[in-house]
Amino acid sequence: MPNVSDTKPIGSGVPPRRSDQIWSDAHLPEDVKSAARLARSFAEQHLAPIAYELNTTPEHRDNFPHEVFSAMRDAGLFAIPFSRDVGGLGLEHPTLALLVVLEELAYYSPGIASALYDAQIILVGQTLARAEPPIRKQWLPRIVRGEIVASFATSEPDASTDLSARSMQTIATRVNGGWQIDGRKRWITNAVAADIILVLARIPDEEQIFLLVETARGGVTIGDPDIKMGNHPQLTSDIVFENCFVPDSNVIGEPGSGLRSALSALMLGRIGIGAVGVGMAQAAFDFACDHMTRRTVFGKELARFQHWQFTFADHAIGIEQARSLYQKAGDIFDADGNAEIEAAMAKITGSSLAVDVARDAIQVCGASGFVRSIGATGEQRALESIYRDAKIGEIYEGANEIQKWIIARRIFGRNLTG
């Protein structure tokens, strides 16, 4: 992995932010604007110079982005959504603030945004923030201070969209003083570097339990990272638990309420995936618009062709809608602690928009959009990685079909939709 403090800007340069011309943040509260400014300044300084390497270097066990993690910690990004008693900033709009941070990080590296903020700070951090006082007090300050890396493990080889107890093969058995876990989790973000893992497991009577596993206690084997189509800096691996002991003090919630705790964190994570999608869509949009004003075909700039003007006017509307949706969802979550429908809508809208804008951005840039780097000159291009990175947003943290099911349930009721 490149050294954060020892890198040069990517060859193709970073295009001007079109969002600053066509989008107003006047409606955002001051604490949220200030979080966005902090995140943008961090991302421009620490992510932009190494974005190309981060987003194109294949997964490897040694490639966990420790230096980016430390830089995020030092910039104070991990403190943004948490209350003062655990070392956080105690903002008035913590969820909205963490979402705008995600968008800014994803503008340069969706893999970093997803691994080091969505998984670490939303899925794990927000679960711990709602956990019983002793667990919260023991572990959350360490997350806020960036002392530990964490994973959130629900998926298994045969259970991921369907997380019901009957599908789940990871078993927690009652033993003296705690629980013993046996089983295998799959696709687990940050596992190669994890100090703690929140694990959803099955207990008797088709119930589930959510446990905090300390990897240093043993009984945990982490596989090599999966080689993926995109999101390369987001390392995912299998985790095998064998006779893995978890003390009673590390049970999150009541035994039996495990799935509820996991789903509540995932709801917030979904809004996050919507925000990550907006960051990617904005980046692809900016690269394409910049290219369209410079590249001439048939004697005129691509931006003079009405087809492309209208295509990107439509995408500007799409970005406005997706950004408004994730921000509304965050606002509602801050007010009510629940935003199920808005989260589902924000996730679908942001994630599919990213795929659509990246596809059109590559189309209008032609070969310049399709290549990763130009052999003769070494110029680097970012669009192909955005296209590869965008796809997973439609799949993980609840596939978009599941989000439509959630919305349909509210429209037609569970009797009809199941």
Q: Does 74 bind ligand FAD (CB under 6 A)?
A: no
List the one residue from 127, 180, 215, 231 that touches ligand FAD (CB under 6 A). Answer: 231
- Residue closer to ligand FAD (CB basis): 43 or 159: 159
**CB of residue 370 vs ligand FAD: minimum separation in angstroms?**
23
- Nearest residue to 262 via CA among 160, 179, 412: 160
- Taking contact as CB under 6 A, which single stretch among the options 84-92, 210-218, 231-239, 349-357 is the one that binds ligand FAD? 231-239
CB 386 within 8 A of CB 374: no
List the one residue from 61, 401, 412, 417 that touches ligand FAD (CB under 6 A). Answer: 401
Place of tokens 């990517």: 10
Q: Does 399 bind ligand FAD (CB under 6 A)?
A: yes
List the one residue from 51, 77, 99, 153 that touches ligand FAD (CB under 6 A). Answer: 153
CB 240 within 8 A of CB 182: no
**CB of residue 269 vs ligand FAD: minimum separation in angstroms?**
9
User: What is the Cα–Cα distance from 144 to 78, expressed in whole angstroms?
Assistant: 5
Q: Does 96 bind ligand FAD (CB under 6 A)?
A: no
Per CB under 6 A, contacts with ligand FAD among 167-206 are 187-189
User: What is the Cα–Cα distance from 368 to 364, expressed in whole angstroms?
Assistant: 9
For residue 124, report the phi and psi dihedrals to the nearest 5 degrees: -80, -50
Place of tokens 């919260």: 136
List the one residue from 97, 119, 144, 251 that touches ligand FAD (CB under 6 A). Answer: 119
Residue of minimal CB distance from ligand FAD?
Answer: 161
User: What is the Cα–Cα distance from 317 to 325, expressed in whole angstroms?
Assistant: 12
- Residue closer to ligand FAD (CB basis): 49 or 230: 230
- Residue closer to ligand FAD (CB basis): 154 or 349: 154
- Residue closer to ligand FAD (CB basis): 305 or 405: 405
List the one residue from 5, 41, 45, 161 that touches ligand FAD (CB under 6 A). Answer: 161
- Residue closer to ligand FAD (CB basis): 140 or 150: 150
Q: Does 237 bind ligand FAD (CB under 6 A)?
A: no
Q: Which residues of 88-123 are buried (b: 16+ CB within 10 A; e: fewer)?
A: bbebebbbbbbbbbbbbbbbbbbbbbbbbbbbbbbb
- Residue closer to ligand FAD (CB basis): 155 or 261: 155
**CB of residue 270 vs ligand FAD: minimum separation in angstroms?**
11
Q: Does 248 bind ligand FAD (CB under 6 A)?
A: no
List the one residue from 362, 392, 393, 403 that touches ligand FAD (CB under 6 A). Answer: 392
List the one residue from 107, 152, 179, 326 that touches ligand FAD (CB under 6 A). Answer: 152
CB 352 within 8 A of CB 321: no
- Residue closer to ligand FAD (CB basis): 127 or 151: 151
Map 223-254 to HEC letters: CCCCCCCCCCCCCEEEEEEEEEEEEHHHEECC
Applying CB under 6 A, which residues contact ligand FAD?
119, 151-155, 160-161, 187-189, 228, 231, 234, 236, 392, 395-397, 399, 401-402, 405
